[in-house]
Amino acid sequence: MPTEIKVPTLGESVTTATVGKWLKQPGEAVKEDEPVVELETDKVSVEVPAPAAGRLENHAVKEGDEVEVGAVLALLEAGAVGKAAAPAAQAAPAQLTPAPKAEAQAAPPAETDYDVVVIGAGPGGYVCAIRAAQLGFKVACVEKRATLGGTCLNVGCIPSKALLQSSENYHAAGHDFAAHGVLIESVKLDLAKMQARKADIVGANVKGVEFLFKKNGITWLKGHGKVEGTGRLSVDGKPVTARHIIIASGSDSANLPGIEVDEKVIVTSTGALELSEVPKRLVVIGGGVIGLELGSVWHRLGAEVTVVEFLDRLVPGTDNEVAAQFQKLLTKQGFRMKLGHKVTKAEKTKKGVVLSIEPSAGGTVETLEADVVLVAVGRTAASKNMGLEEAGIALDKRGRVEVDAHYATSVPGIYAIGDVIAGPMLAHKAEEEGVALAELLAGQAGHVNYDAIPGVIYTWPEVASVGFTEEQLKDKGVAYKTGKFPFLANGRARALGMTDGFVKVLADKQTDRVLGVHIIGPAAGELIAEATMAIEFGASAEDIGRVCHAHPTLSEAVKEAALGADNRAINI
């Protein structure tokens, strides 16, 4: 009896699809799980696989037909032998450069070592691997580090937040506790113990990922991964095959021409996390997130910190009003700012480093002396030495892997997510893409809303944003209204003694839909979650304002700012 190939479940609230393209014709032989037809919805394109090996008998619907979930698409004579499909080159995804090498266009091997192999075990890679395993795929993850977790867990997000918390506690004990009636005669720093605590936190996290791999039956392929073509890669030279290959190699610290990093006196973020003593003078090149966070750590512990930034402002891309307030508060704390300047030379001396700097547009050169220089001018996609270009995978001018809306590269069966593709280089963005891609490969409706990706700067005060800035809305010609509420008027902030900053809500002037939320102040990174959910579900500012918020809490500032968009704030 023929087997029916039906329209699968396409995701919540999706009930119909359009038949986009038949990948197999009547009479052709198909393998189990081999794609037979491509369906399209307004959210996603899905390939429907054969439930068993056999011969395709007929098409029950035509290309362009609209079909409902559960409808029969074709009949399959399971186990029957059909004619071989005529050879045809697979087209590259739309808007991508076709792969130049013929072998990269070949079909994956009939039998593979794994269903899915992920290259890179950072947040995007390990989350993608876990979700794929949950969906029933046989999964392996390639990682050359001695531990899992990638840059984020090993030398990025986690260790930096550990030091930020420890340094904040140290600073508070010496400067803030007295206002609460807590008198400490002498506060001493044990940097070695602080670093050991950080190392313990990192160890616990990376071991946690290793446990999750074992729990989900994921194989850790230890070594350097290199892509060979569709369905083929190698790990330290050993061949591995897979139906789907996912590049999640992350990013590396960007360098400045002529400045040699030694991770001792001229350091990247990696070296800045491992300093064995507090530098008297720290110069941070770059006024972005990484530089300001690590600058904050060492400033709290006693370093004189100078920030040299090419632009005339800090944290480009952040709402202008927030950025201006942020700069004002950091300057008040003691940060020295050299905005609109560039470093042209770094000369190591017996005492440290002498930097030559000048205005970004050119002008008089001056020198800065430092014990340690932190180069924090951004990050670049980690796409080198992986065989990507040799395999025919298209890269953009910045070395990022080009992908379509479903994370497919220009070579069939190979995908990419996270920092190695375009978009904000954020761990949680990579995680969402990893989950979405795993679900797409399983025939589900994986999706990422890039208008609802929050960003957080974990300094004091914290800065958090989601959605559009005022400047972006003006550029788009969108009519909007603004609600703003200061933490100075929030009871919980006063009780904490943390009244710097404000919450700013931007809403569509006609519909009241929330378009962006920007927070500078205490716990901004936690408060932004409510705003992110509001944008994800298309809530209005009034929706936030009508939700009951516990009193007294910092979250009431979000409610008040939302009410303020309609001139209805209560406590100001």
Q: What is the pLDDT of residues 112-166, one digit of tens each?
A: 899 999 999 999 999 999 999 999 999 999 999 999 999 999 999 999 999 999 9
**Contacting residues for 214 by C-beta, under 8 A, at least 6 apart:** none
The two structure tokens encoding residue 296: 């904050």
Cα–chain-centroid distance for residue 43? 21
pLDDT digits (tens, 9 = 90+) for 459-500: 999 999 999 999 999 999 999 999 999 999 999 999 999 999
**Contacting residues for 88 by C-beta, under 8 A, at least 6 apart:** none
pTM: 0.81
Question: Quick one: pLDDT at residue 89?
Answer: 33
Check whether 547 has a pLDDT greater than 90.
yes
Choose the catalytic residue: 224, 244, 299, 551: 551
Check whether 96 has a pLDDT greater than 50.
no
C-alpha neighbours within 13 Å on the C-beta side of residue 462: 21
pLDDT digits (tens, 9 = 90+) for 222-278: 999 999 999 999 999 999 999 999 999 999 999 999 899 999 999 999 999 999 999
Active site residue 551: yes
Helix (H/G/I), strand (E/B), else coil: 259? coil
Helix (H/G/I), strand (E/B), else coil: 133? helix
pLDDT digits (tens, 9 = 90+) for 423-468: 999 999 999 999 999 999 999 999 999 999 999 999 999 999 999 9
Question: Quick one: pLDDT at residue 44?
Answer: 62
Helix (H/G/I), strand (E/B), else coil: 51? coil
- CA-nearest of 288, 64, 569 to 558 is 569
What are the Cα distances from residue 47, in Å, to 69, 438, 477? 14, 13, 38
Question: Quick one: pLDDT at residue 97?
Answer: 37
- Are the C-beta atoms of 202 and 153 separated by less than 8 Å? yes
Check whether 84 has a pLDDT greater than 70.
no
- Alpha-carbon distance 530 to 550, whole Å? 13
Check whether 93 has a pLDDT greater than 70.
no
Q: How confident is the model at residue 81 (pLDDT cuts 50, 70, 90)?
A: low
Helices and strands, number each (H, E), in the chain? 13, 30
**Contacting residues for 64 by C-beta, under 8 A, at least 6 apart:** 18, 19
Q: Which amino acid is at 99?
A: A
Question: Quick one: pLDDT at residue 64?
Answer: 83
Question: Quick one: pLDDT at residue 56?
Answer: 85
- Alpha-carbon distance 134 to 120, whole Å? 18
Average pLDDT on 75-104 reads: 46
| DSSP H helices in 288-394 | 289-300, 320-333
Question: Quick one: pLDDT at residue 74?
Answer: 87
- Alpha-carbon distance 206 to 371, whole Å? 32
Average pLDDT on 317-336 reads: 97
Q: Which amino acid is at 375?
A: V
